[in-house]
A and B are shown apart, each in its own frame.
Chain A
Amino acid sequence: MEGLFDGYIAPEGTYDEMFVGDQDSVRTPSARLKKLFDSMSMEEIQQRADYMSNTYRNQGVTFDIGGEERPFPLDIVPRIIAAKDWQVAEDGVKQRVKALEMFLDDIYGAGRCFIDGVIPRHVVTTSSYFYRQAFGITPLNGVRIHVAGIDLIRDGQGTFRVLEDNIRIPSGVSYVLTNRRAMGSGVPEITSSHAIRPVSDYPAKLLAALIAAAPAGITDPTVAVLTPGPYNSAYFEHSLLARMMGCELVEGRDLVARGGRVLIRTTQGLKPVHVIYRRVDDDYLDPVYFRPDSVLGCPGIINAARAGNLTIANAVGNGVADDKLLYTYVPDLIRYYLDEEPVVPNVDTWRLEDPASREEVLDRLDELVLKPVDGSGGKGIVIGPAATREQLDELRATVSKTPRGWIAQPVVQLSTVPTMTEQGMRPRHVDLRPFAINSGEDVWVLPGGLTRVALGEGQLIVNSSQGGGSKDTWVLSGDGRRGRLEIRKAQNRKPSPPAPKPQSEPVAHAPRTKKEQQEQQQQGVDQC
């Protein structure tokens, strides 16, 4: 019989997370997974995959592209992360969130880091996401980054590196939750034979963090999720989170700001709201301060936050830390604020404002990746080796004109994971977005996160808006074996409950005797 992994070879210079080289050299944490998949035929796997995507279509687990709802693509092969590898990623994310939290507090306040020369003031003030409107708004429990999505990749050696920070409104967590459920129903025998750290706590942790961030003096705060509306690509996620947290999902038009408070329109009149988990961008949030033509926000919402009657999560102005030029300073910020070495390093990056590096980068444009500093969703990225002559010339002109707007990085070979294709299992590049929640007491990192996979061969851009798929991410607990748990259960097994009594009640409509049944059957035979 042909194996699913026949012909699988990890690409040169890339870390494959399942195999060291070809299909016979499987890494230990994935050994069981490979064995289980090997025992299934291609046809069977295809059937299961179809079942899973069908379920997504019926449940409406969708990602909108250009206004059209499409089922979110989920690959049937999970990605396994061993416990000790995860520990590194988790520590790195926590550390980074803590440092960025202190940084934001600093730049929207005293500005200590400028005085101490850690980062030039102009880097912050020229960022398009630095909002002076947020200056001096200090959150009660000190949290600005309630939810963070720090994108990680694994380089050629398998070392985790940070690719970018998303601390405005990171999305994708709903798919982590639904993917786990889909895997449970699609390949139950595989899911149940691994000890996987659960992800279902997320909504409860998020709700707790939002409640903890409530304004002073509010004992039972009303929490609402603010969505741009059903035409937003992440609307599914907004409604899922609202449903799981049991709070209202509001649109801008449901909100009214009066007297420094924000109220929601209910069937019983206007009711105050205290914490808004907003999924609307900063510049659409409040037409009074930002884009005056915005219909997605609520006029007056920033004033309410400044007055201390409303908490906006994540805070306004966080985007400055998402700026990719600022990203290059984050390791320094970690050393400065926490007095620690970064646990997870950055990807090497050139700052193009420096004339020497700019010259070097412009010389080597065809071998580097250039990214706009304020882009997201993979927009505007130029991958040198894949670009045409004209594209590079155009890029050179743009970069020379606006060096502040770009950074350059070497082409990082993202790690690969086996992925179901029409030819069987093939290596495809992945990244990882772990989600962290800061409750003010502690930063909690969801075990795993969203693994995005570039479905085309050799492709490096994984974004869902660019046709990427996803994988369920399994962080193993211990060595990932389920066996020991069962032994422990066996040890403290309770005495078995008494066997249920046999049913003795008569069944109401059962014919009393066999004879009666026969007679009933015979009746009316002639008439037909």
Chain B
Amino acid sequence: MMQSIFLNNLQNVKSQMGETQEKLATGKNINRPSDDPLGTARLLRLNNEIENIRTYNNSVDEGMAFVSTTTSSLEGIQAEASRLITYMTSARDATKDPKDFAAKVQTSIDNLLAYANTKYGGKYIFGGTDHSEKPYGMDSTNTYVEEKTTHLDGEQKIRISSSSTLQINIPGRDVFGTVGNPPGTDIFNSLIDLKNRLAAGETPTDADFKTLNDFNDNVLSELTVAGNLYNRLSDAKSLLESQRQDVETLMGKVQEVDVARAIVDLKDLQTTMDRTLQISSYVLPKSLLDYL
């Protein structure tokens, strides 16, 4: 009878030691769902949260890079517009020949077209949602600019949280105006028209200046829009970061082993095991036969 009690106690102590050792070796409280069913459910939820935060973070980063590219392009466009206004002011000067400025206007048109067709990671930033080809280009007769793709006012949306999506693109029409066919009232075709008149020797009119100034103001206001977008994204990023830290703290509480506690428990069990073995080794072998 004593033998079986001793064996059972020894078995108990050893199996408890095994559990504590596993926790120390893996550093985790929960190594399989049955270790703690409720804790596992919580852990799965928290793991899902972390994975969500990681994905949203990716989207936000993508968005921020996209908006930065947009901002640089807009700044370039705005510089181009300022330059044009300066040139046209001096073109009005009676001492200058308008024909000299025609080439400058052409350069501006080319630059503006290049900005309008900026690409970021396979997407045309002013092209709306159609990325099959450049959104702006010369028509077949090479006399005016036309829109090459449809869906120029399409919205490029990203998802930055479980309940919010954000449009990150600025449609080309907001910046350059609607390019119609036949040629519309957009900046490209207005500039082509201006260039043609300059080449014919005419000086820029007040209407031309109004067009250029309106364009400049428009680009400045789109820059503000882009800036706001960027701020919105960067706020989202900070929020995600603080959420991540919160979730990781919660996960730590559920999953991380209290190493100090575990080691003390282990030492305790070892002492108990030693004591059990010692006492049994003294008591078990003795019987009446030793004394007969």
Is B a genuine binding partner of A? no
- A residues near B (Cβ < 8 Å) are none
